[in-house]
Structure 1
Amino acid sequence: MLIDSTTWKDVALELSNSLLFDFLFCVTCVDWKTHLTMVYHLRSTTQKHIVVVKAKLDRENPRIATVSDIWRTAEFHEREAYDLFGVQFIGHPDLRRLFLTDDYEGFPLRKDFEDPVNMIKL
């Protein structure tokens, strides 16, 4: 399911409350060079359904609402996407770096990231 990023919070609430998707088991980000895409994998443990939701983000200012208040597991996953891709999660209770130091510059999982140590160019 591809959605507009501005509607993500409403879609997430509907999935959680009405459609009983009670388990968020994977959150990731994809860099397409022109934009970023957030990808959310959800499961309904009672209905035995799985859904994948994708939201396109502006590459220069990637922002999307947090869903850590709906699914607690999102708190960690969103911090990871923030740290490695630079996605800002609006309303996140503890948005800070997870793996990298506070003074680290750049986002190592973006395709335009240049690694001065390993000389990787994509």
Structure 2
Amino acid sequence: MKEKITEYFTSKFSDVLLPQRDINTNLLYFSIKKEALPKVVEALKNHPDFAFTYLNDLTSVDWLGKREPRFEVVYLLRSPKNKHFRLQLRVPVGEGEEVPSLTGIFPASNWPEREVYDLMGISFTGHPQMERLIMPDNFIGHPLRKDYPLEGPGQDYLIEDLLTIHVNEDIAS
């Protein structure tokens, strides 16, 4: 199966493939240009032999100081038709760059994309609701970035806002 997918991928998407790094894994993966992500995922999902119809995971990696571009968004696709064969797509992303959203292809990507945005600061173009999911709306920064201070940037402003909200609610009632 690996050989068949690799042959298909390299013949059909040679123009969007990026150089592969040598990593110690038995998982088949491809690094691709972010602009081609929806086209590639759609083709893999609709291909009659592969049928990668299940988005298993969507996450990101911060390579601060080790690689350029700094970030990588990682997609894990599965093919139930082929005994849940797994394929990983890696999309390098620079600081301030955006990645196309996959919500139109995999509606289940909605929350993981928002989580990556909230915790890493990577935006997804075309996402129907690109806003924080886990952290409060007024939270400063993205806590999973490697340069985020361990003690936080000073979160007193969060407590002050909560106190103000509750004091105003108590006055109103």
**Match status 1:21 vs 2:56:** no
Equivalents in 2 of 1:65, 1:72: separation in Å?
13
| Counterpart among 84, 88, 92 of residue 56 in structure 1 | 92
Q: Aligned ranges for residues 94-113 of structure 1 at < 5 Å?
A: 94-113=129-148
Percent identity of equivalent pairs: 32
Equivalents in 1 of 2:141, 2:153: separation in Å?
15
Equivalents in 2 of 1:84, 1:62: separation in Å?
15
Counterpart of 1:44? 79
SS class of match (2:44): helix
Higher gyration radius (CA): 2
Gaps of 5+ in 2: 1-29, 155-173
- Residue 71 of structure 2 aligns with an amino acid whose one-letter code is L
Instruction: Count how many residue pairs are aligned between Structure 1 and Structure 2.
Output: 118
Gaps of 5+ in 1: none
Deviation sequence 1:22-81 (CA, Å, 0-9, x none):
1001111000014100000000111222100001000x2131001011112111110100
Equivalents in 1 of 2:82, 2:121: separation in Å?
34
Q: TM-score, normalised by structure 2?
A: 0.64
| Counterpart among 69, 76, 81 of residue 116 in structure 2 | 81
Counterpart of 2:63? 32
Q: Give the root-mean-square deviation of aligned CA atoms.
A: 1.7
Equivalents in 2 of 1:96, 1:80: separation in Å?
9
Shift of 1:118: 9.7
Q: Which has the higher contact order (CA 8 A, sep 6+)?
A: 1
Q: TM-score, normalised by structure 1?
A: 0.90
Q: Point out the structure with the larger strand share.
A: 1
Given that 1:36 and 1:62 are in contact with CA atoms closer than 8 Å, whether structure 2 keeps it comes out as no
Given that 1:25 and 1:41 are in contact with CA atoms closer than 8 Å, whether structure 2 keeps it comes out as yes
SS class of match (1:73): helix
